[in-house]
Amino acid sequence: MFKEYCESKIPLIEAELSTLLKTDHNIAPKLYDAMQYSLLAGGKRLRPILLMAAAEAVSGEDGKPYIKPACALEMIHTYSLIHDDLPAMDDDDYRRGNLTNHKVFGEGIAILAGDALLTNAFEVVLRQENVPAERLLKVVKEFSEAAGYNGMVGGQVIDLLSENKKVDIETLRLMHQAKTGALFRAAIRSGAILAGANKEEMIALTEYAENFGLAFQITDDILDVIGEAAKIGKPVGSDIKNNKSTYVTLYSLEKAKEMANDAVASALDALKIFGREAEFLRHVVRYLITRDH
């Protein structure tokens, strides 16, 4: 089901992403090209898929009507990747199998392309039709909190300040909750909000999202050690190169695998109140501990 579901959604996401950036009155063609370069570079499109799947878990109906907020979240994610790859951050040359944005367009344009994707994402959310304005405002709040100083940006700062240091597990967990987990949390909670989730559903999906983010990050740390660059789309061993603490370095490879399995089990337990309408959410969290990219 996992593969089939993704194959049904990814073409819709790709088609929508290709139309989101308006070319009329475009005052900086090179900026537009840089934004499109990273936005359309492929990838799992997991965050927009999760947003639509969470909406389906709540409503029992196809999440396709929420494609614009879903793709807006992918714009925010893409911005974060462009900035993460910069020499001042992770200093990576490849992303998704292609040269990183700054390697093609230069550091200045890459920074501005990320800025523009983040800013325009909120305008894209507000293009959503047939949803009460109150719900859209809640989604904007979810996105901004996930991307802001208590979300991705704050997590990135902890990451930068932790280089060449051995941090404790609580610092590592806080960093990843913000840097990686916050956007997954926003995806799942926003899908639930758009579909009109009740309080019990929101609590359950929030718990699922937090454990999903934890499992995702732990397996990311594992893949940085045992993965293949051709499948991951970037060099392996970058955490070691940058002297970063990870779940693998703080514990061990086997312990990290055990922790990932525990997080997956907790995520599945959170979905007990849902029926078959949440089946994809169950499949996708199980996929995390078997993925190779």
CA distance 282 to 256: 21
Residue 228 confidence (pLDDT): 53
Residue 165 confidence (pLDDT): 83
| Sign (positive or negative) of CA dihedral 154, 152, 290, 284 | positive
Half-sphere exposure of 200 (CA within 13 A, CB side): 4
Q: Scan for tokens 């900086």, then name that residue.
A: 28
Q: Other CB atoms closer than 10 Å to residue 131's CB: what's the count? A: 18
| 240-244: average pLDDT | 62
CATH number of the CATH domain containing 126: 1.10.600.10
3-state secondary structure of 94: strand
| 238 in any annotated domain | yes
DSSP-derived secondary structure for 226-274: H--HHHHSS-TTHHHHTT---HHHHS-HHHHHHHHHHHHHHHHHHGGG-
* Percent of the chain surpassing pLDDT 70: 92
Quick one: pLDDT band at residue 94, thresholds 50, 70, 90? very high
Residue 63 phi/psi, 5° resolution? -85, 5
- How do residues 170-187 score in pLDDT, each as one tens digit? 999 999 999 999 999 999
Residue 9 confidence (pLDDT): 95
| 205-228: average pLDDT | 90
**38 pLDDT above the threshold of 90:** yes
| 222-250: average pLDDT | 67
| 90-106: average pLDDT | 94
Structure tokens at 112: 């501005």
CA distance 68 to 70: 5
**1 pLDDT above the threshold of 80:** no
Lowest mean pLDDT among 13-22, 216-225, 228-237: 228-237
Structure tokens at 267: 């995520």
- Contact status, residue 92 vs residue 235, Cβ threshold 8 Å: yes
Q: Other CB atoms closer than 10 Å to residue 72's CB: what's the count? A: 29
CA distance 155 to 173: 10
**232 pLDDT above the threshold of 50:** no
| 127 in any annotated domain | yes
| Sign (positive or negative) of CA dihedral 254, 229, 49, 79 | positive
Specify the number of domains making up the chain.
1
Nearest to 22 by CA among 13, 11, 14, 31: 31
| 293 in any annotated domain | no
CA distance 289 to 216: 8
Angle 130-52-271 from CA coordinates, rounded to 5°: 120
- How do residues 141-165 score in pLDDT, each as one tens digit? 999 999 999 999 999 999 889 888 8
| 23-27: average pLDDT | 68
| 110 in any annotated domain | yes
- Contact status, residue 101 vs residue 112, Cβ threshold 8 Å: no
In sequence order, which residues have a C-beta less than 8 Å from that of residue 126 and are 6 or more positions away? 136, 140
| 36-46: average pLDDT | 94
Strands of 74-155, DSSP E? 94-95, 98-99
The domain of 248 spans 2-288
Quick one: pLDDT band at residue 289, thresholds 50, 70, 90? confident
| 32 in any annotated domain | yes
Residue 90 confidence (pLDDT): 87
Residue 235 confidence (pLDDT): 53
Lowest mean pLDDT among 124-133, 217-226, 234-243: 234-243
By residue count, the chain amounts to 293
| 28 in any annotated domain | yes
